[in-house]
Structure 1
Amino acid sequence: MTGACLAGLALLAVTGCAVDQQASKREARAEAAYPPTGQLLQVDGRQVHADIRGSGPDLVLLHGASGNSRDFTFDLVERLQDRYRVISFDRPGLGWTDDLGPRTDNPIAQAELLRQAAAQLDVRNPIVLGHSYGGAVAMGWALRDPGDTAAVVLLAGATYPWPGDLGNWYPFITSPVGKAAAVPLITAYAPESRVQDAIAGIFAPNPVPPGYADYVGAGLTLRRDSFINNAQQVDGLKPYVTAMAPRYPRLSMPIEIVHGDRDTTVGLDYHSRRMVQDLPNARLTVLPGVGHMPHHADPAAVVSAIDRAAARAGLR
């Protein structure tokens, strides 16, 4: 091996070590800045984070991709805790909940882990709310335990297969090269401005609420393992909802759906309008001018949908 080759290998090793050290520092800072807000449960040897507030009928909240339970505790939970016991979970592989190994991308497996955690909290006959990707997990929860699921509330839920694919980004991130090279660089050096732009893109065309970016803890999602887990979940979702969708008509519990007509992340027609066509027990509220974050853009409409679900289920 030539001296030039040896020097190149040494440079790569030093560079990789520097990136790893910087990534570890940023991960540690994120975890210190955004600690768990609730309880850490142990379920089959895995940690599950649950934020529990209020009293009343049980209401389970399941966040979307790239998120954690802080998305709900920022504002929505305060609007509900006077009349519900609100349990906001971090989904597997995100926030402070451990991943599921090779089953991390399976929304039904995610639902099963969280149902076991809910059983430890003596959750009974809950309303299960899912936002975006969490909508698939909410439907997985209902499919696995329809007899003990009072109602489902979907906020821009990703619940059906969609035409086309999601592009090359997620397959690249989940590839060996992406995991080994791109993700550590993103964790180590992603500028704060890009994080802010990404959050703004998720909320568009609606504004990001003041204080949200500082509260939600995007740095938790930028951790290497969480970043990969999220990409695997998003990239692998379509086959699961393809298999789940034909089973939805078996569900008879009330289903309330809230979806913005300006949502460019989860298509209103492909998901929510299709569900109300397939399920007579599903009711859809379309919010004009609202994008992918209806619980922030119009929280009153979301609270009303939850209250309707509770009333239809005989809980209130």
Structure 2
Amino acid sequence: MAETDPSRIAGAALGALALAAGGAALYSWIHARRVTSEMHPPIGRFVEVDGVRLHYVERGPLDAPPILFVHGNGACLEDLLVSGLVDACATRYRCIVPDRPGYGHSTRPSGRSYTPQDQAVLLSRFLDTIGVERPLVVGHSWGALASLAMALDPRADVAGAVLMSGYYYPQERGDVALMGLPAAPVIGPALRWTLGVQTMRRMAPKLYPRLFHPRPIPERMLRDYPFAYAERPEQMRAASAELAAMSASAEDLAEDYASCAVPVALLHGSQDAAIDGSLHTGRLAAEIEGASVAFLPGLGHMIHYFAHDDIVAAIDSVASRAEGRAPDEGRPRRAAE
């Protein structure tokens, strides 16, 4: 009986592994192209800013006071549209909603930094490009940190900020090491292009209930939100890199919080299982002079799906403070669904 050659077995195993990895990568590439071209084609316009091709939509009157909406980590502009918040504001505000770099249909060229501070500059230049001046900025979760960076930067020239469910201070989080792996050198691309699609499909059923807890996931999100975006390798890279850099970015920005010179309103779900409101929103409210704060009972991280009245009231208040007048209590407001 012939002896088994270990080197031939190892070679065959490596060849089979390489073939499987190549097949998985090809599937990921085809799937990513299908997601953005067939399943969820662009719904807005494009503009190039500093080499980034940004996709965005607008709602509301062009001559109304402008609002820039900034979505969170792992999300896209459809999150803010599907939530109904943009429609609730568009009756009397010009609502501008971009996909941040690497999300939805916006590109994220490699070899550059995308910290909240960097994206604040990029979004400011985006507004300049489309001819928008002195907007209110409304951010959710990671987008709240980028929005706060805009509020702190005089060059951004924002009128005020409404920050929802935000992360503002360095905090040890057990999920960062694992969730940041897809952005790591060498191993990151291998993970994204081979295991990414199936990993995201397994994670989603656990992730989204935690974000919406204690409420159920709204039917309109299950029906209309483009969940498949998160299965694309490039969006995995963006989300992982931002999560990995979040703590250091917050530490850098925190030095300037007390110097914020524009009106700020803070909102946070009292039962947020993703970000502790007392450690972040409560602490920030104590640092920014004149900031209003509301902890919304019975809500978790995704307050923009349920608290339209509270959020629009905060937007109205910040807009009024930016104009140097008291809020107009008599203005009608669209109720949350």
TM-score by length of 1: 0.93
Q: Which amino acid aligns with 1:157?
A: G
Moved more, 283-292 or 155-164: 155-164
Give the equivalent residue in structure 1 for 2:3: none
Instruction: Work out whether residues 67 and 135 of structure 2, in 8 Å CA contact, stay in contact via their aligned partners in 1.
Output: yes
- Aligned equivalent of 2:101, options 92, 103, 106: 92
Distance 1:201 1:147 in 2: 34
Q: Deviations over 1:108-147 (max 9, x none)?
A: 1111111111111111111001100001100111222367
Distance 1:191 1:139 in 2: 29
Cα deviation for residue 210 of structure 1 reads 0.8
Cα deviation for residue 193 of structure 1 reads 6.2
- The structure whose Rg is larger is 2
Give the equivalent residue in structure 1 for 2:125: 116
Instruction: Work out whether residues 200 and 231 of structure 2, in 8 Å CA contact, stay in contact via their aligned partners in 1.
Output: no
Structure 2 counterparts to residues 276-315 of structure 1, below 5 A: 276-314=285-323
Distance 2:284 2:93 in 1: 26
Instruction: Work out whether residues 71 and 139 of structure 2, in 8 Å CA contact, stay in contact via their aligned partners in 1.
Output: yes
Are 2:26 and 1:18 aligned?
Answer: no
Q: 1:171 to 1:72 in 2, by over 3 A?
A: closer
Q: 1:198 to 1:185 in 2, by over 3 A?
A: farther
Q: 1:62 to 1:304 in 2, by over 3 A?
A: same
Q: Deviations over 1:259-312 (max 9, x none)?
A: 011012111112111111111221101101110011112222111111111111
- The alignment partner of 1:101 has SS state of coil
Q: Deviations over 1:135-172 (max 9, x none)?
A: 11001112223672111000011122224554531243
Cα deviation for residue 177 of structure 1 reads 5.7
Moved more, 94-103 or 35-44: 94-103
For structure 1, the residue ranges without an aligned partner over 5 or more in a row are: none
Distance 1:259 1:146 in 2: 28
- The alignment partner of 2:323 has SS state of coil
Structure 2 counterparts to residues 1-316 of structure 1, below 5 A: 2-31=7-36, 32-55=38-61, 56-74=64-82, 75-145=84-154, 148-163=157-172, 166-176=175-185, 178-190=187-199, 192=201, 194-314=203-323
Instruction: Work out whether residues 47 and 97 of structure 1, in 8 Å CA contact, stay in contact via their aligned partners in 2.
Output: yes
State the Cα RMSD in Å.
Answer: 2.1
Distance 1:164 1:217 in 2: 27
Cα deviation for residue 102 of structure 1 reads 4.1
- The alignment partner of 1:253 has SS state of coil
Distance 2:135 2:239 in 1: 26
Give the equivalent residue in structure 1 for 2:334: none
- The alignment partner of 2:229 has SS state of helix
**Aligned length, in residue pairs:** 316
Q: Which amino acid aligns with 2:80?
A: F
Give the equivalent residue in structure 1 for 2:333: none
Distance 2:311 2:239 in 1: 25
Distance 1:18 1:164 in 2: 34
Q: 1:165 to 1:94 in 2, by over 3 A?
A: same
Distance 1:162 1:3 in 2: 50
Moved more, 155-164 or 181-190: 181-190
- The alignment partner of 2:238 has SS state of helix
Distance 1:191 1:259 in 2: 27
- The alignment partner of 2:72 has SS state of coil
- The alignment partner of 1:154 has SS state of strand
Identity of matched residues, %: 26
- The alignment partner of 1:116 has SS state of helix
Q: Deviations over 1:194-252 (max 9, x none)?
A: 43442222211111111213422121122101101111101111111111111121112
